Structure 1
Amino acid sequence: MDVLLSIKPEFAEKILGREKRYEFRKTAFRDPSIIETIYMYASSPVQEIVGSFSLSSVSEGTPAELWREFGSDSGIDQRSRFMDYFANTETGYAFEVADVRRFTESIDPQQRLDDFRPPVSFQYLRGEYDSLIATDPKSGSD
């Protein structure tokens, strides 16, 4: 199963540039073991699908534990910014990023799908976007 993940453009670019090795979330996937590909939808102002990655592992912990363990690979330069994201949250998740692929041409789903709605956090894909997110033979690891 694939996932479409909404992510701020700043962090999508850091993942694509290998500066960010962990993506942090307040909720985890139901069954991470069945996730094949995570497609990155860079939110406003970009609003395009810019690349993908594989999920290597998922770690769970308090925000303080996640920062201690993964902060240096978070792509976030301020602990306070990290902690602000997790405000009022006791448990968080660190998704380890692997097999990063940058698309040679970003995909604008709003131009190609009549009913596209960007996910608030993420959405599971069950083939409904297969024609939209075709493997780009020119894409690859940066």
Structure 2
Amino acid sequence: MDVLLSIKPEFAEKILGHEKRYEFRKTPFRDPSIIETVYMYASSPVQEIVGSFSLNSVSEGTPAELWRKFGSDSGIDQRSRFMDYFADTDTGYAFEVADVQRFTEPVDPQQRVDDFRPPVSFQYLRGEYDSLIHSGPNSGSD
């Protein structure tokens, strides 16, 4: 199963540039072991699917524990910004990023899918966007 992950453009770019090795979330995937590919939808103002990565592992912990373990690979330069994101939760998740692929041509799903709605955080894909993501010269490594 694949996932479409909404992500701020600055963090998508840091993942694509191999500066960010962990993506942090308040909500985990139901079963991370079945996730094959995570597609990155860079949110506003970009609003395109810019690349993908594989999920190497998922770590759970308090925000302070996650920062202590993964802060240096978080792509976030301020601990306060990290902690602000987790302000309303006691538990967070660190998704370890692997096999990063930058699309040579980002995909604008709003021009190619009539009823496309970007996920608030993420959505599971069951093939509904396969032709969109896999068509044309999109995949290429960075």
Distance in 1 of aligned mates of 2:55 and 2:40? 12
Please name the residue that 1:12 is paired with.
12
Q: TM-score, normalised by structure 2?
A: 0.97
SS of the residue 1:132 aligns to? helix
Please name the residue that 2:23 is paired with.
23
Query: Share of identical aligned residues, percent?
Result: 89
1:56-96 alpha-carbon deviations (Å, 9 max, x no partner): 00000000000000000000000000000000200000000
1:17-49 alpha-carbon deviations (Å, 9 max, x no partner): 000000000000000000000000000000000
Contact 2:4–2:124 (8 Å) recurs in 1: yes
Contact 2:105–2:138 (8 Å) recurs in 1: no
Please name the residue that 2:63 is paired with.
63
Q: TM-score, normalised by structure 1?
A: 0.97
Please name the residue that 2:42 is paired with.
42
Contact 1:103–1:136 (8 Å) recurs in 2: no
Paired residues, number:
142
In the alignment, does 2:129 pair up with 1:129?
A: yes
Offset, 1:139: 3.5
Please name the residue that 2:53 is paired with.
53
Distance in 2 of aligned mates of 1:108 and 1:137? 14
**5+ residue gaps in structure 2?**
none
Distance 1:138 1:123, change over 3 A: closer
Offset, 1:12: 0.1
Q: Would you identify which runs of 4 or more consecutive aligned residues in structure 1 move more than 4 Å?
A: 135-138
Give the AA of the match of 1:15: I
